[in-house]
Amino acid sequence: MTLIKSISGIRGTIGGKVEDNLTPIDAVKFAAAYGTWIKQQRNKKNYKVVVGRDARISGEMIQNLVMNTLVGLGIHVVDLGLSTTPTVEVAVPMEHADGGIILTASHNPKQWNALKLLNAKGEFLNGTEGQKILEIAESDSMNFSEVDVLGKITKNEAYIDLHIDEVLDLPLVNKKAIEDANFKVVVDGVNSTGGIAIPLLLERLGVHAVKLYCEPTGHFPHNPEPLKEHLGDLAQAVVNEHADFGIVVDPDVDRLAFMDETGEMFGEEYTLVACADYVLSKNPGNTVSNMSSTRALRDVTEKYGGVYEASAVGEVNVVELMKKNNVVIGGEGNGGIIYPELHYGRDALVGVALFLSLLAEKKMKVSELRATYPNYFMSKKKIQLTPELDVDGILSTMESNYSHEKLTTIDGVKIDFADSWVHLRKSNTEPIIRIYTEAPTQESADNLADRFITEIKTIANI
């Protein structure tokens, strides 16, 4: 396994050889490169970086390596301990810090970990900044501090509560309506930090939370990507508990999906659609999601008179276009809600609060709410990268083969047909080619994805 270095961070599997996997030496090297970059941004006496992690098994080891590397550079560290990605993002500006690092491999299995890097605004680094850190890491030009000016580590475990305070202070979070609705919700925290944060948020909102896999042990009880095929236990619990709905998050709590009262998925793509519906009904405006997200957000946005635009995949790309278009809400179709009034980062906590507000005001079941939105069906498949796969060549051939259709090539190749679309791209976070399709029925979406998998294999002669 080769280390994956992208705008989404530095990630790899634990163990193995240096430069092939995320070993302790690699963690130290990239933390040192990031700390060096931080010090290059401004010439000042004291520097501060916020560090937090999800509950995966390697997290404590990697966090200690990262924090003490920063200390060796003379940088002070605020240690959030077990935390969430959006909590660290919120903490950076609250601490007036120079940056932040989140130790998480998001939805990847337990053997993975990663360093996600933030700037002084608590936002992910852009491509230019990320490339500079990679260059520093390869140059071995880091200059560590002398003994009298080493950094210090300060522990602060209050930030999940502070993050929840910030969410509850948002004007559109209808706390009274939520409390009056007397909701009962099952929470699948995949044995990571969502099992801490989401029940705490629900308790503050007067929601009865039934906890499922909410012990932050890092032993994921199922594949941590919040997709239907991984969530049989949640479906059963929702039905058995006679709950109003179910909530599932990924290990670092930036992705959010719902399950209706019958144990059926609300649809990960429709998390953003529902939250946008609520926000736009109160504050009409523009929206942004990435190119692999459902057309339903476009439809809801236009219903309220706004303009929808799609960005390249990757949170930093979504945020950049959101700022450019003065967007009121945006995110990614994988269940990532970005609500700028709080911060420019995917945040499952704010997504839960907005969804509960919508449901409480609508006074309808989750299944009934889902039926009010346009019905699109998506298929998400992938092809493992191998040495014989020339991804750039494959995408170039696809572009030529479909030049008569509406094409977008800012991120791989997206082909828009009259009633469907397909998006082909190399993943930022895994050694795979992703194939996303959307169509009027699930069967047609699956068939479209299978057709393009066959075409890719034909082009690559495999």
SS3 353: helix
* Closest listed residue to residue 438, CA positions, set 256, 320, 297: 297
- What would you measure as the largest C-alpha separation in the chain, in angstroms? 67
* Closest listed residue to residue 257, CA positions, set 271, 245, 244, 243: 271
Identify the active-site residue in 8, 58, 83, 106.
106
Measured CA to CA in angstroms, residue 407 lies from 416, 419, 424 at distances of 6, 14, 11
Distance of CA 384 to the CA centre of its chain: 22
Tell me how many degrees the CA angle 280-440-432 measures, rounded to the nearest 5.
90
Measured CA to CA in angstroms, residue 139 lies from 30, 36, 143, 460 at distances of 11, 12, 11, 36
Tell me the DSSP string of 189-232.
-TTSTHHHHHHHHHHHTT-EEEEES-S--S--SS-SS--GGG-H
Question: CB of 272 within 8 A of CB of 332?
Answer: yes
Please classify residue 310 by burial: count the beta carbons closer than 10 Å to its beta carbon, then call 0-12 exposed, 13-18 middle and 19+ buried: buried
Instruction: Name residues whose C-beta falls within 8 Å of residue 403's C-beta, 6 or more positions apart in sequence.
Output: none
Measured distance CA(118)–CA(102) in Å, rounded: 8
CA dihedral 167, 173, 176, 182 (to 10 degrees): -80
SS3 38: helix
Q: What are phi and psi of 91, to 5 degrees?
A: -70, -35
Question: CB of 219 within 8 A of CB of 275?
Answer: no
Based on the residue annotation, tell me whether 357 is a catalytic residue of this protein.
Answer: no
Q: Which residues are catalytic?
A: 106
